[in-house]
Amino acid sequence: ERTKNLRGLGRDGIVTRTVFPEIPPRVEYRLTECGRTAFPVLEAISSWGRQYQKTRRESSHTKESP
């Protein structure tokens, strides 16, 4: 499944795929310039997730208090 997702990202121009002629086989994926433009969006989602977890933790402590 991961390989299928990465190959799809390659077809969409988000990552590049490099196959190395080694045993065992090795494949490397790197973000393209287009892929790197997603960083601000991913950082915003990550920031939201951290804040959401913090808020939930604080909320659960408040509910447990008498």
Domain ranges in the chain? 2-64
Between the alpha carbon of residue 39 and those of residues 10, 55, 58, the distances in Å are: 17, 24, 28
Q: What is the mean predicted confidence (pLDDT) over 3-25?
A: 95
Nearest to residue 9, comparing CAs of 26, 41, 31, 42?
31
Interior/surface letters 10-25, b for 16+ CB within 10 angstroms, e for the rest? eeeebbeeeeeeeeee
Confidence of residue 56 (pLDDT cuts 50, 70, 90): confident
Confidence of residue 60 (pLDDT cuts 50, 70, 90): confident
Angstrom distance (rounded) from CA 18 to CA 20: 6
Confidence of residue 64 (pLDDT cuts 50, 70, 90): low
CATH class assigned to 2-64: mainly alpha
